[in-house]
Amino acid sequence: MSKRYSNSPIIEAVCELRLAPDSKWDLTIPGLIYETIKNDFPNKEQRRVSNQLILPKEILEKPQNIEQQLIIDDLALFRSEDQKQLIQVGNHLLSINRLKPYISWNQFRPLIEKAFEILRQVAGLNEIQRIGLRYINRIDVPDTNIKLEDYFEFKPSLGRNLPEMLIDFIVKCSLSYYDGRDICRIQLRSVIPEDKNSSSFLLDLDYFLNDPKAVTENSILEWADKAHEEIEKVFEGCITDRLRTLFDEVK
């Protein structure tokens, strides 16, 4: 059974779906999606974002003549009345975001299911390029002089010949799942605390599909359930009982 915490550190949960660049898409799709969800997401805005060009595999295998390119896309944002939930629609892109307070997967999952079903109706889901589930956690410890090993199992290792006192740090790694079908990227870094008497950290867990052909439109939610299960295990594997006490586990 999943653990729940009264003082959950989750500040944002994101589920993102990208369709293949040559899949069906046109400028009317964001508007069609908005017409379907506007009662629950009445606030809309538009942003311009830059994304790195995704190159086909056959080009990546011959990189000698490749120049990095950035593509500027328009992104439509649809926010709920309380500003805590949003759906973002870009070029071949749909993401569902839940901001703090995050309650549970049982509440976040239906929103994902609804958004994916709407996208299925207006554009189809038969050419999936990437699907990802990401949880960003802000962890505030009410002390300025702490030992990382007291709070984190996942942490930087300095070795015996370096000073022990860190001013700031960033440590990350990628884990492979299901024979390379999925990847989970873990990143922990120090951040400026809001309270000068505290120490603060961001633990970013990004679990995503590495083999686009492994998931079909009929198995997206099954994949998301499994991704959530694995990302919960990773989170628990990154922290110690001292943090669990700080988060106040709900029994």
81: tokens are 């009345």
Domain with 188 in it: 4-250
How many structural domains comprise the chain?
A: 1
CA atoms of 129 and 23, how far apart (whole Å): 10
What pLDDT is stored for residue 70 in this prediction? 56
pTM for the model: 0.89
CA atoms of 174 and 232, how far apart (whole Å): 16
What pLDDT is stored for residue 53 in this prediction? 46
Return the bridge partners of 207, or none: 133, 184
Distance of alpha carbon 146 from its chain centroid, rounded? 28
Render each residue's pLDDT in the chain as its tens digit; 251 residues.
Answer: 478 899 999 999 999 999 988 888 988 999 999 999 999 999 999 887 665 544 444 444 444 444 455 555 788 999 999 999 999 999 999 999 999 999 899 999 999 999 999 999 998 887 899 999 999 999 999 998 889 999 999 999 888 888 777 788 999 999 999 999 999 999 999 999 999 999 999 999 999 999 988 998 899 999 999 999 999 999 999 999 999 999 998 87
Query: For residue 14, which of 106, 136, 175, 113 has the smallest C-alpha distance?
Result: 136
CA atoms within 13 A on the CB side of 140: 13
Q: Residue type at 66?
A: I
What pLDDT is stored for residue 50 in this prediction? 60
What pLDDT is stored for residue 55 in this prediction? 44
What pLDDT is stored for residue 213 in this prediction? 84
